[in-house]
Amino acid sequence: MSARLVPDRFKSQAAVITGGGAGIGKHVAHRMAREGAAVTLWDADQKALDATVAEFAGEGLVAY
């Protein structure tokens, strides 16, 4: 079962996500970004983090 996407739910809001390079943190960050948030990601794995930020940017999402 998946929750319905609400495109502007987090418009003009920011979120800081720890563990955002992979797994649950990445999924939560992706969902929040798709719903309008600017997300700042933090992860101990710099390569995974860089890949996630690039992936989000490729989709037109705001991630740092």
The answer as to whether 5 is a domain residue is: no
Q: What's the alpha-carbon Rg for the chain, to the nearest Å?
A: 11
Phi/psi class of residue 55: alpha, beta or left (left: φ > 0; alpha: ψ in -120 to 50)? alpha
Asked whether residue 38 is assigned to any structural domain, the reply reads: yes
**Residue 25 forms part of a structural domain:** yes
The reply to whether 64 falls in a domain is: no
Per-residue pLDDT tens over the stretch 8-62: 999 999 999 999 999 999 999 999 999 999 999 999 999 999 999 999 999 999 9
- Element at 14 (helix H, strand E): strand 14-18
Structurally, how many domains does the chain consist of? 1
Is 0.85 topped by the overall pTM?
A: yes
Domain membership of residue 50 (yes or no) is yes
Can you give the residue range of the structural domain that contains 38?
Answer: 14-58
pLDDT at 1 exceeding the cut of 70: no
Q: Is residue 22 situated within a structural domain?
A: yes
Cα separation, 4 vs 25, in Å, equals: 19
